[in-house]
A and B are shown apart, each in its own frame.
Chain A
Amino acid sequence: MSDVRGTSDEEVPVTADPGETPAGTTGAGMADLTLDAKVAAADVPPELLAQSLGQYFRAWWLRVRSGNSGVLPVVLGIVVVAVSFQIANSKFLSAQNLVNLFEQSTVYMLLAIGEIFALLLGEIDLSVGLVMGLGSVVVAELVQPTGADWPWWAAIIATLLACSAVGAIQGSLVARLKMPSFIVTLGGLLILEGVAILVLGGTLVGIGNSQYSNEVVLYDIFWGTFNPVVGWILMAVLVGAAGTGLWLREASKRRHGLETPPRSLTAMKIVLMAVAGIAVVAICNVNRAHSGTIEGVPYIIAIVLVVLAAWTVLLQRTRFGRYVYAIGGNPEAARRAGVSLPAVRTWGFVLAALTSGIAGVLFASWQVSLTTNIIKASNSYVLLAVAAAVIGGTSLFGGRGKTIHGVLGGLVIGGIYNGLYLLGVSSQWIDVAVAAVLLAAALVDVLSRRGAPGQT
């Protein structure tokens, strides 16, 4: 909701003030609206205008057509990717490959979520890939029994703090000294690459030794799974909690006489959540091993969900989040409204680096052993992170995007990599495909901004 406020152009005359006359506007039927009102209606979240499910869908479609397409393109993209790869190779949608695909996408998802903090502010962070690389090396080095030998939790906390500090330094340079974020993070990327190789010490560091409990915990972060029964229970608790929360919030809004979406819509959302949850757990609980047993929901699904939920709440429900959208939409207006640009920008970069640090812990766990070459390769992840965020629907021009976009965009990229790999396509053509998708997403972004009200 606040993202709409952030992107809505102040010049647009909002004739349909959602606070006062929503029923009147929608009651007249969309076909009777003048163009101005249509444009204004397209700028208002459909929940606020619609009293019934049918009206909701009509209002939503109007919004999509006017450029606020939200997650629709990326969801369509995921469907296209899934259907076409399934036709090409019937293994693509097998339980085993779906879990595999999610595992491959995790790092892209988290990096894209980190990148979204920078993109929302109208900045760019080129260093997320190497913050991840640095984080992975630090966490792996800290638990080495022959070295620092820290407990796993201390190592993870120290890693996240170190990554956040990197973000704070880069953010301060951008926010306080007004250096372009593009160059600060480019320089940061080079320096971090050196520092990561330095920390690595020129050799290999691994966390795959099952004799040391700290390494085992780190290893299990990526590769461990919930017991199938625990998976079902967790899913039930989660869906129950989220559903109850959603329902109660709507009920309380309705009691206070605030605008609320129709009940049927809320019910549908809860049902969708439950169906998605059941599908995920059911797929993950299939035995994926060729011999023996590998089953259960991987921990990383829970980790991604936690990060997604935490950052969504931060961006959508807190003052900080509103400020981020405000700065991305119009920094000068935000400044005049009393928002401290340097502080919010610096925190944006800190959060980007922190999220990349989480990705770094997962990356160390995923790769099991880290070498100089893996660290060097981690700098190309930033390109995929930006690509994932933009493909997911986050605007490059600031002020428009949500954390969910990073998750969906990461899934598209992971899906393309996984699917083309299954088909035996060599890596260079996979890069070509990702580039094409990125350009298409950017084109959609540019064209939809052109179509958005007030932008012409």
Chain B
Amino acid sequence: MTADPGETPAGTAGDGMADLTLDAKVAAADVPPELVAQSLGQYLRAWWLQVRSGNSGVLPVVLAIVIVAVVFEAVTPEHAFLRPSNLVYIFGLSTVYMVLAMAETVVLLLAEVDLSVGAVALIGGVIAFKLVQQPGPDWPWWAAVLAALACCGVIGALQGTLTALLRIPSFVVTLGGFLLFSGILIVILGGADASVNLNSSVTNQRVIYDMVQGLIAPIVGWIILAVVVVAVGTALWLRSAARRRQGLVAPPLSLTAIRIALVAIVGVAVVIICTVNRGTSLVTVAGVPWVIPIVLVVLGAWTLVLQRTRFGRYIYAIGGNPEAARRAGVSLPAIRTWAFALCSATAGLGGILLGSFFYGEYSTNTADPGQLVLYSIAAAVIGGVSLFGGRGKAIHGVLGGLLIGGIAYGVSLLNLGELATPLEYILPGGVLLAAVLIDVLSRRGAGSVTHV
């Protein structure tokens, strides 16, 4: 490690990348580009070095999303794929995959796997729906949602305890959990033919009913967007300013500015797309669906937990090298158990959103828990979460989920007849294999870095 980022970043970067020896180049590839770069050009060069050495981050999945969007736009009849109405629908369809993939990410970061997220998600949804029934428990919606998340959290904690304390492989514990909770799900639902519905005319139930499909009035949407962009921008700017004031290594100012501008542009684009009238000339359907801010809040929460808390650092530490983490004093059983609990609680939220997406109806046909979990793992891995632990972010789950949802909906638009159902399986499977191949090959590249 000739380029110690804490001491001589300016010296290293000032020489220009071309002058670096191979050793320094390899070392630089292991350091976030913010730390070695003083100008935007240097940042981009350092970033490209990172990408080339295997730390490609979100780049592959973003490229894949662009390719999928372009291809489907080109081949769908009437080029309908990128219509605002379809884009909004795709986001709603992808929600459950995004949230479940974020949940799965936490466990994958530990180099474990949770096969029960699908069943747990459905249990969470059914519990929340049952608790607001009227006549019935008639709980306020927030209490029902919290109770559902708590139940799922307890389920996760139980599975986590079996994995963390007894060291039964998480694969088997959650495989058993998958069977167990798929059965219990039907019991809670009240039988294989039963269903539970939200009554959209009851205000309390309407809140959950509207979580995905409910719309924020266009003006309110713009106001929220402005507040969010200003808040995020100020936070980013202040943090990098504070770092600079205290003499810490900070990304170049221009980079911070570009990031804020990107957030603003994406936000404006989303609101504009959502504000287009998606209904008919008689019935106006316009506005940002509530699900977008909800997913953003979950994403923000998980990003904060994983990147800025001690718990998050411990998760990465355990995923990277459990023995090293243990010797550094990290309590492996506690962190593992909590990770499984939080994973399941997040999955429970995904289940509530799934029911909301299906217009507040939950039956055994709503979703197949097995397929949900396969798609969620696929989404996380496609998004860029490593299966070997220690590498991945919440945003990867969101992007991977979006890709899976986009493929599923795009195929359904194609009027392929008999070919449609097979392609719904073959495409995600193929993308999953491609993603893992990239993961494995890039790890091979990255592996040489750590061993130099």
* Chain A positions near chain B (C-beta within 8 angstroms): 124, 173, 177-180, 182-184, 186-195, 197-198, 201-202, 372, 376, 379-380, 383, 386-387, 390, 396-397, 426-432, 434-436, 438-439, 442-443, 445-447
Contact B183 A179 (CB under 8 A): no
Choice from B175, B176, B417, B426 contacting A194 with Cβ under 8 Å: B426
Choice from A173, A180, A202, A438 contacting B175 with Cβ under 8 Å: A438
Contact A197 B425 (CB under 8 A): yes
Contact B436 A187 (CB under 8 A): yes
Main secondary structure of the interface of A (DSSP, over half): helix
Q: A191-B425, A428-B184, A446-B168 provided; 20 other pairs, C-beta below 8 A? A: A124-B171, A177-B437, A179-B440, A180-B436, A183-B433, A186-B377, A190-B429, A193-B422, A194-B426, A387-B179, A396-B172, A397-B169, A426-B191, A429-B183, A430-B183, A432-B183, A435-B178, A439-B176, A442-B172, A442-B176
Contact A186 B378 (CB under 8 A): yes
Contact B178 A383 (CB under 8 A): yes
Tell me, in angstroms, the Cα distance from A178 to B442 when the chains sit together: 12
Interface string of B48-60 (1 = CB under 8 A from A): 0000000000000
Interface string of B408-449 (1 = CB under 8 A from A): 000000000111011111111110110011001000000000
Cβ contacts under 8 Å, A178 to chain B: 440
Tell me, in angstroms, the Cα distance from A390 to B171 when the chains sit together: 12
8 nearest CB pairs, A to B: A190-B429, A194-B425, A194-B426, A431-B183, A435-B179, A435-B180, A191-B429, A194-B422
**B173 close to A (CB within 8 Å):** yes
Asked, given contacts A182-B171, A194-B425, A439-B162, whether A187 binds B183 with beta carbons under 8 Å apart, the answer is no
Cβ contacts under 8 Å, A435 to chain B: 176-180, 183
Q: Which residue of B lies closest to A431 (CB)?
A: B183
Contact B176 A187 (CB under 8 A): no
Q: Which residue of B lies closest to A130 (CB)?
A: B425
Asked, given contacts A183-B432, A372-B421, whether A442 binds B173 with beta carbons under 8 Å apart, the answer is yes
Contact A182 B113 (CB under 8 A): yes
Asked, given contacts A187-B433, A197-B425, A198-B419, whether A428 binds B186 with beta carbons under 8 Å apart, the answer is yes
Asked, given contacts A186-B378, A190-B425, whether A386 binds B175 with beta carbons under 8 Å apart, the answer is yes
6 contacts between A and B (CB under 8 A): A194-B429, A387-B179, A428-B182, A432-B180, A434-B179, A442-B176
Asked, given contacts A183-B436, A190-B374, whether A432 binds B184 with beta carbons under 8 Å apart, the answer is yes
Tell me, in angstroms, the Cα distance from A438 to B370 when the chains sit together: 17
Cβ contacts under 8 Å, A201 to chain B: 418
**B185 close to A (CB within 8 Å):** yes
B157 to chain A, nearest CB (A): 16
Tell me, in angstroms, the Cα distance from A278 to B184 when the chains sit together: 42
Tell me, in angstroms, the Cα distance from A201 to B419 when the chains sit together: 8
**B244 close to A (CB within 8 Å):** no
Cβ contacts under 8 Å, B191 to chain A: 426
Cβ contacts under 8 Å, B417 to chain A: 202
Cβ contacts under 8 Å, B428 to chain A: 190
Q: Which residue of A lies closest to B187 (CB)?
A: A428
Contact B425 A383 (CB under 8 A): no
Contact B378 A187 (CB under 8 A): yes
Q: Which residue of A lies closest to B427 (CB)?
A: A194
Cβ contacts under 8 Å, A183 to chain B: 377, 381, 387, 432-433, 436
Contact A195 B426 (CB under 8 A): yes
How many residues belonging to B are interface residues under a CB distance threshold of 8 Å? 49
**B166 close to A (CB within 8 Å):** yes
A72 to chain B, nearest CB (A): 20
Contact A179 B436 (CB under 8 A): yes
**B326 close to A (CB within 8 Å):** no
B188 to chain A, nearest CB (A): 10
**B192 close to A (CB within 8 Å):** yes
**B167 close to A (CB within 8 Å):** yes
B189 to chain A, nearest CB (A): 9
Tell me, in angstroms, the Cα distance from A429 to B12 when the chains sit together: 64
Q: Which residue of A lies closest to B115 (CB)?
A: A383
Tell me, in angstroms, the Cα distance from A436 to B162 when the chains sit together: 13
Choice from A186, A197, A397, A438 contacting B432 with Cβ under 8 Å: A186
Interface string of B372-412 (1 = CB under 8 A from A): 00100110010000011000000000000000000000000
Cβ contacts under 8 Å, B429 to chain A: 187-194
Asked, given contacts A182-B113, A194-B423, whether A436 binds B180 with beta carbons under 8 Å apart, the answer is yes
Tell me, in angstroms, the Cα distance from A195 to B419 when the chains sit together: 10
Tell me, in angstroms, the Cα distance from A247 to B433 when the chains sit together: 51
Cβ contacts under 8 Å, A372 to chain B: 421
Choice from A124, A186, A197, A383 contacting B179 with Cβ under 8 Å: A383
B339 to chain A, nearest CB (A): 18
A206 to chain B, nearest CB (A): 18
Choice from A191, A426, A439 contacting B430 with Cβ under 8 Å: A191
Contact B436 A184 (CB under 8 A): yes
Interface residues of B in 154-207 (CB under 8 A from A): 162, 166-169, 171-173, 175-180, 182-187, 191-192
Cβ contacts under 8 Å, B166 to chain A: 443, 446-447
Interface string of B345-387 (1 = CB under 8 A from A): 0000000000000000000000010100010011001000001
Choice from B113, B172, B192, B422 contacting A195 with Cβ under 8 Å: B422
Tell me, in angstroms, the Cα distance from A383 to B171 when the chains sit together: 11
Q: Which residue of B lies closest to A177 (CB)?
A: B440
Cβ contacts under 8 Å, B184 to chain A: 428, 432
Cβ contacts under 8 Å, B381 to chain A: 183
Cβ contacts under 8 Å, B370 to chain A: 379-380
Tell me, in angstroms, the Cα distance from A445 to B166 when the chains sit together: 11
B80 to chain A, nearest CB (A): 23
Cβ contacts under 8 Å, A179 to chain B: 433, 436-437, 440
Cβ contacts under 8 Å, A428 to chain B: 182-187, 192
B365 to chain A, nearest CB (A): 11
Contact B183 A190 (CB under 8 A): no
Contact B422 A197 (CB under 8 A): yes
Most chain A C-beta atoms within 10 Å of own C-beta, residue among B162, B167, B179, B187:
B179
Tell me, in angstroms, the Cα distance from A324 to B162 when the chains sit together: 29
Tell me, in angstroms, the Cα distance from A427 to B185 when the chains sit together: 12
Cβ contacts under 8 Å, B437 to chain A: 177, 179
Tell me, in angstroms, the Cα distance from A258 to B113 when the chains sit together: 48
Tell me, in angstroms, the Cα distance from A9 to B450 when the chains sit together: 31
Contact A429 B378 (CB under 8 A): no
Interface string of B134-147 (1 = CB under 8 A from A): 00000000000000
Tell me, in angstroms, the Cα distance from A387 to B432 when the chains sit together: 25
B240 to chain A, nearest CB (A): 38
Tell me, in angstroms, the Cα distance from A444 to B55 when the chains sit together: 40
A260 to chain B, nearest CB (A): 38
Tell me, in angstroms, the Cα distance from A187 to B162 when the chains sit together: 27
Most chain B C-beta atoms within 10 Å of own C-beta, residue among A179, A184, A186, A198:
A186
Cβ contacts under 8 Å, A186 to chain B: 374, 377-378, 432
B451 to chain A, nearest CB (A): 16
B177 to chain A, nearest CB (A): 7
